[in-house]
Structure 1
């Protein structure tokens, strides 16, 4: 059984005439291009701890199979705003699991995309923990309810945005939670 004990977050942007090469350049910017990435769903394991990105990158080996949650978006439309965000919500009880969420959008600022991803992760965790809330309330109101419940200890997000390259080259953005 593989249960990660560490996680780090990274992000990147790539621009190239070829779509795949643009993605590769975003992976390089994020520092994870030398790994074989396996996308997993959104569970943050109990007792998993966050480590700094630099420390996590140093632990990776070329060719290593690495599990990650990735948000990715791309465009070849000049000046089109693209975003990719990962949200995180952690329960107070270390025996419980948390949630990661991916969000990718067009036309959203980093603040809006990041907040949406954070809100999504927190909402998934809140429903799992039985926290009552009104889903129609604004994120800031629900965030206070979630944290006041004493069951959710932390929420956060990482987001990467970019505008499509002015001459129509492919622009790719990624936000990644990398498990170790």
Structure 2
């Protein structure tokens, strides 16, 4: 059974005249360009522990197939704001899975995009745990309800935003949760 035991979070921005090269530059800035990345969905495995980016990278080898939850956005419009975020919500019960969410958008600040991704992850987890809430209330209010339930102990996010290059080169932003299989 292949269940990740560790995860690290990373982000990056890349700028280049070619769209693909801009993405490569963002991967390089995030430190994950040397892996064969396989995108996976939103489940944070039970008992998976977060490690630093540096520690995580020490556990991986160039060319390795690596699973990641990744958000990506790009633009070649000068000064257009792009943002990519991954949100995390962890349950109190360590044997229960948590959630990761990807959010990629235009025109949102890093704070707005990051909080939205965090909200998405927490809301998905809350629904699986049976926490009652009004989905129309503001994130900050729901965050308090989720944590007061005693069922969700942590929510967080990682986000990268950037304004499109003024000369019209491609600007790519990424945020990722990178799994280590050990």
Check whether TM > 0.5.
yes
What residue is the counterpart of 1:167 in the other structure?
167
Structure 1 stretches of at least 4 aligned residues deviating more than 6 Å after TM superposition = none
In structure 1, how many angstroms separate the alpha carbons of the residues matched to 2:6 and 2:60? 12
TM-score if structure 1 supplies the norm length?
Answer: 0.99
TM-score if structure 2 supplies the norm length?
Answer: 0.98
What residue is the counterpart of 1:57 in the other structure?
57
In structure 2, how many angstroms separate the alpha carbons of the residues matched to 1:51 and 1:73? 25
Alignment of 1:1-180 (within 5 A): 1-180=1-180
**Secondary structure at 1:122's aligned position in 2?**
helix
Cα deviation for residue 68 of structure 1 reads 0.3
Cα deviation for residue 44 of structure 1 reads 0.2
- Kindly tell me the number of residue pairs found equivalent between the two proteins: 180
Structure 1, unaligned runs of 5 or more: none
RMSD: 0.4
